[in-house]
Amino acid sequence: MLAFLLLASSLFPPEDPLAFPEFGLKLRLPEDGKLESRRQKDPNCKGRWAGTWNGSEMLIVLHVLPGAAYEYLEPEDVVEGWREAFRDTDDRPTDAQQTDFVFEEVRCTSRPVGASPILATVRASAQRKSEPSEKGLLLFAGGILPQDSWSLRIEMWPAPDEEGAKRLQEYVETCIAYDGKPRDPRWTDEEALAYWKRHAPESTVKKFEKPVRTDHYIVLTNSTSPGVFVKKLEARYASIRKILPFEDLKGRRLLPVLLFRTEDDFHEYYRGVYKMEESEAVDETGIVLGAYYATSCDDDYDYDHMVELTKQLLITRQRAWGGCLWFRSGLREYAATKSSERKDGLRAVKKGKFTPLAKLLDDMAWGNERRKRDKTGTSEEADYWEQSAMWTEFLREGPWPKDKFPSFVRTVGSLRDGDHDGVVSAVESIYGADLLSLEKQWVAFFSKR
């Protein structure tokens, strides 16, 4: 660690940083760059600097995002917000409208850059539509403050070479300093109550009980006896953790669970979220919205909890809620069931009536299949969730090097939702075979059962 800090300081000799005392932040601009401050109109923008560095045009923009408008719990939330804005051509800043961006996965490192000791970054290669041969680099870094969050945007044209990219990464990891108050990763009771008030029905607020904390969760509840649910939480977490390759960094905030005392309380909450009439029926027993999982003590079905807790961890820890339905549903069903329980899918393989992989990768096919089942109550095809779970089992437990499955989860999960071509390309590249060849291996794998 000392060697790294000495290397970073030699590349970027210390100088007086720019101070933002109201946020406890200091920003050091690249010492060997030629950057000048530029005007900015956005009230959330605290600084904008443009010029040259390492032979490229460079733009640096610092934002502080108010917590009242952005309910960010972790640093990844910050950079993912910007990533999605730049992926959405209608929502992009004006100067990015004519540029194509291809994002890499979100990365995190332990750094004292905010109330949370974690720095999140995400990079993208950039290409201007008017000049296809001109390549650029876009990088976002983000951190959490006690009430707000900060983000740093760096854009370079042309993209730096390998050595320049390395120096830029070193700069990003050392340019922000924070001397404010750290947050309590286990939540204060006051924060827990405020969170409950923000999301739960008003009728449950007066009945709010003292939060229950485990190693990874904080259970917010109006039940006086949540123990049965709480006792199983960490075992469920451990089971899912064996599948997902994320790193448990210190300083992570406990994951919030809204546990309602009764199913009726949950239904009231659900109708409020989706603006439903009181007379409308609610079929769901639990949902994941953003960072939190909401359910009730009346739901004692382990499958329901495993499916939703896997979703919560895919979103909040793995940061892999992208790709396609085949990817996400397969992981959730795989985590929630045993191989011996997927009899419908296995029977389809043995009878040669399985759904082709190319079709499972098509989100439109999932919608069509769902409508058929809703209309007729049955289908000539085996359950898509089961078959997708069998694909997850094959890609994780099949004859592959151990590094293949983690790479698959990170790569496909970081793709934009619905990026069919990206999913196909990633699967074929990681597993070294085209879809049809993989499908033949999948059939052979399960035909032996």
Q: What is the DSSP string of 16-73?
A: PPEEETTTTEEE---TTSEEEE-----TTEEEEEEEEETTEEEEEEEEEE-TTT----
Last residue of a domain, one of 178, 205, 239: 178
Structure tokens belonging to residue 85: 């804005």
**Integer Cα distance of 169 and 419 in angstroms:** 28
Alpha-helix runs per DSSP H in 36-161: 75-87
The reported pTM is 0.91
Same domain, 14 and 115: yes
Q: How many domains does the structure of the chain reveal?
A: 3
Same domain, 262 and 137: no
Same domain, 293 and 351: no
Domain that holds residue 235: 189-318
Query: What length is written for the chain?
Result: 449
Same domain, 197 and 277: yes
Same domain, 259 and 364: no
183 within domain boundaries: no
Q: Are the CB atoms for 235 and 309 separated by under 8 Å?
A: no
SS3 call for 446: helix
Same domain, 362 and 409: yes
For residue 271, what is the domain's CATH number?
A: 3.40.30.160
**Integer Cα distance of 117 and 249 in angstroms:** 9
341 within domain boundaries: yes
Last residue of a domain, one of 286, 302, 318: 318
Same domain, 67 and 112: yes
Q: Are the CB atoms for 48 and 60 separated by under 8 Å?
A: yes
**Integer Cα distance of 207 and 224 in angstroms:** 9
For residue 119, what is the domain's CATH number?
A: 3.40.1000.10
**Integer Cα distance of 173 and 175 in angstroms:** 6
| pLDDT tens-digit profile, the chain (449 residues) | 333 333 333 333 445 689 999 999 999 999 888 999 998 889 999 999 999 998 999 999 999 999 989 989 999 999 999 999 998 876 655 556 789 999 999 999 999 999 999 999 999 999 988 888 889 999 999 999 999 999 999 999 999 999 999 999 999 999 999 999 999 999 999 999 999 999 999 999 999 999 999 999 999 999 999 999 999 999 999 999 999 999 999 999 999 999 999 999 999 999 999 999 999 999 999 999 999 999 999 999 999 999 999 999 999 999 999 999 999 999 999 999 999 999 999 999 999 999 999 999 999 999 998 888 888 877 789 999 999 999 999 999 999 999 999 999 999 999 999 999 999 999 999 999 999 999 999 999 999 98
Last residue of a domain, one of 136, 154, 178: 178
Residues forming beta bridges with residue 156, ordered by sequence position: 58, 137
244 within domain boundaries: yes
Backbone angles phi, psi at 234, to 5 degrees: -70, -35
The amino acid that residue 196 corresponds to is W
Residues forming beta bridges with residue 288, ordered by sequence position: 293
Same domain, 269 and 121: no
